[in-house]
Chain A
Amino acid sequence: MKGLLRGLKKTSLARIATYFSYAHYRVFLSVLTVTSLMIFMHTAILIFMLPPPFSTGPFLAPIIALTSFFYVFVIVYLISVFTSELSTGGALLFLSFPLSRVEYVFSWILNSVVAPSLLYLLSIAIPVAVIDPTLVLNISGVEITLAVLEMTAVGTVIFLLSLITKNRKTALSAGILLYLVVPYLGLIAFSYFKYSLKIDLSNTPVFWVYEALYPYKAGLFTYGSVSWSYNLAFPTAILIALILAATLFYSKYRLEVV
């Protein structure tokens, strides 16, 4: 751990910024296209379909449920670009320059997980602000925070798996499984237990793991029975920090490029 901290001290923001801007330059067009499409969809939904907002509850749920389903493919695609760069030798070029493995991997986390999650947030905020700036103040910060954290948390897990396996197929299958299959199957299972079998799993470790990985969906599931507050975000924030530390640790001590 000491070594990792010492390594982080040597990390150069300038080099991260340089590599990040290069990696972003390569995928800019696809990210821009999908984000623009999201802005258009969010605008249409907000204008035609949404009921009047109220600030305390998850009023954006219909939007997020619909559009995040498509948007996560951007994250999965970007992680797969990273994985193919690692496995086909593209990474070798940049890692033969004064760019550390930690800086390289961190730039890709920013590029493939953090930036798209924030762009998704913007794709909601921009139409809301354009339609009626006062609406921005009415959006629940908790809801947005949970949605973005969920996207980021799952993204970091997929990223770590892809980094370790250096396999594009892993990125794609883990992406589909963790973004599209597990969260909804989980909700179906929890609902079945709760409403059909009358067994409440919300105080079991299985649900805690689900809650840490999918805080937004878990929050919706428990909405009404659990306080809808920023407390819901803490386990996820800790999970992200742990996965990030594991990713940087792996990059520093184990990542080899052939």
Chain B
Amino acid sequence: MAVIEVRDLYKSYGKTVALRGASFSVPSKTVAALLGPNGSGKTTTLKILVGVLKRDRGDVKVFGFDPWINGVEVRERLGILHEKPIFPGDVKVKVLLKYLAKLKGYSGSEVERVARITGLVKYLDSRVKSLSRGYLQRLGLAQALIGDPELLLLDEPTANLDPLARREILRLIKSFQKELGVTILVSSHIIPELEEICEYAVFIKEGIIVDYGRLEDLSKKYFTEVSYRVVVEKPRELASKAISFDFVKGVEVEENSVEIKVKAGRVSELADFLESSKDTYGVRKVEFVRAELGDLYERAVAGT
């Protein structure tokens, strides 16, 4: 089921058109990338999803609610880290998080929980203005995690961070999906970062959604060949059998796996073959080898 449904969304700021008929959806329990260059409408999209901006036209549903009209119902179930978040500097971290937690109906123990997850425990008694850029970003993540949200919206979560802090934040985001099982929509223009964490993508350019879907499906759509890594007990035997099929374009044998390149339109034939020969070759696991996100974006944009 889709957590986010956007249909034909328009938004302008005066004469500047930020979104022109954007449509996409994000399924539940997915880490999705909202990928596009600066000024493509990513931040506007996220702000409409959280209900702080009003759309000019179109239909937006988050958890089945219109965020502009039923903002409270939506925001009870989501957390958002805004791009360059502004925090009141003169307030202690603990006090700020306590007030925010209270708005979601949680007590002080929730503050400790999110502080532990984001590594903020020893800064709880510090004033916000004394935090470094990296720790401010952690504070942003901590406030977004209050109340164990079902959906996390992250707008350029690593913007303006040094490489070390950037890695730390990415590690945290990865752990959220693994350990907390939330749906995450990350907006960024930095492709390698998104590649590390996402399995679903929404491509946006100049306010138009160019394409969206699971990376596997997008790869099949935009590439003539896709690759699968098969973890197997008898890799050589499997490889020599696989290469005899006309839908297989190439194989590469590794220590205990085989990477099989297959024609995009004939993936089901490979699946049938692997299913039928599961016991013969000792097939343990089949995983999709994703295409480069940057290549996918370029092809999607070129196709419009």
A interface residues, Cβ below 8 angstroms from B = 10, 12, 15, 18-19, 21-22, 25-26, 88-90, 92-101, 254, 256-258
A15 and B52 contact, Cβ closer than 8 Å, known pairs A10-B72, A93-B86, A97-B75: no
Q: 8 A-B Cβ contacts within 8 A?
A: A92-B82, A92-B86, A94-B103, A98-B103, A99-B72, A99-B103, A256-B52, A256-B54
> Which of B52, B88, B99, B104 is close to A95, meaning CB atoms less than 8 Å apart?
B52
Q: Are A92 and B85 in contact (CB under 8 A)?
A: yes
Q: Chain A contacts of B100 at CB under 8 A? A: 93-94, 97
How many Å from the CB of B181 to the closest CB on chain A? 21
A258 and B86 contact, Cβ closer than 8 Å, known pairs A93-B143, A99-B72: no
Q: Chain B contacts of A12 at CB under 8 A? A: 72
Q: Chain B contacts of A98 at CB under 8 A? A: 71-73, 75-76, 103-104
CB of B95 within 8 A of chain A? yes
Q: Chain A contacts of B87 at CB under 8 A? A: 90, 93
> Which of B53, B71, B80, B146 is close to A100, meaning CB atoms less than 8 Å apart?
B71
Q: Smallest CB-CB separation from A22: which chain B residue? A: B99
Q: Smallest CB-CB separation from A89: which chain B residue? A: B86
Most buried by A among B84, B85, B102, B104: B102
CB of B127 within 8 A of chain A? no
Q: Chain B contacts of A21 at CB under 8 A? A: 99
Q: Chain A contacts of B73 at CB under 8 A? A: 98
Give me the 5 closest cross-chain CB pairs, A-B, nearest first: A89-B86, A22-B99, A97-B103, A98-B76, A257-B52
A15 and B53 contact, Cβ closer than 8 Å, known pairs A98-B72, A98-B75: no
A96 and B91 contact, Cβ closer than 8 Å, known pairs A19-B103, A88-B86: no
Q: Are B75 and A96 in contact (CB under 8 A)?
A: yes
A18 and B88 contact, Cβ closer than 8 Å, known pairs A256-B52, A256-B54: no
| Alpha-carbon separation in the docked complex, A192 to B80 (Å) | 59
Q: Are A97 and B86 in contact (CB under 8 A)?
A: no
| Alpha-carbon separation in the docked complex, A168 to B103 (Å) | 27
Q: Chain B contacts of A97 at CB under 8 A? A: 75, 100, 103-104, 146
Q: Are B90 and A26 in contact (CB under 8 A)?
A: yes
Q: Chain B contacts of A10 at CB under 8 A? A: 72
| Alpha-carbon separation in the docked complex, A96 to B100 (Å) | 10
Q: Are A93 and B85 in contact (CB under 8 A)?
A: yes
Besides the contacts A25-B91, A89-B85, A90-B86, what 6 more A-B pairs have beta carbons closer than 8 Å? A10-B72, A93-B143, A96-B80, A96-B82, A97-B100, A254-B54
Q: Chain B contacts of A88 at CB under 8 A? A: 86
| Alpha-carbon separation in the docked complex, A73 to B86 (Å) | 26
| Alpha-carbon separation in the docked complex, A21 to B95 (Å) | 12
Q: Chain A contacts of B85 at CB under 8 A? A: 89, 92-93
Q: Smallest CB-CB separation from B13: which chain A residue? A: A258
| Alpha-carbon separation in the docked complex, A126 to B103 (Å) | 34
| Alpha-carbon separation in the docked complex, A58 to B219 (Å) | 81
How many Å from the CB of A19 to the closest CB on chain B? 7
CB of B50 within 8 A of chain A? yes
CB of B249 within 8 A of chain A? no
Q: Smallest CB-CB separation from A11: which chain B residue? A: B72
| Alpha-carbon separation in the docked complex, A99 to B202 (Å) | 29
A96 and B52 contact, Cβ closer than 8 Å, known pairs A22-B99, A26-B90: yes
Q: Chain B contacts of A26 at CB under 8 A? A: 88, 90-91
Most buried by B among A94, A97, A101: A97
How many Å from the CB of A184 to the closest CB on chain B? 36
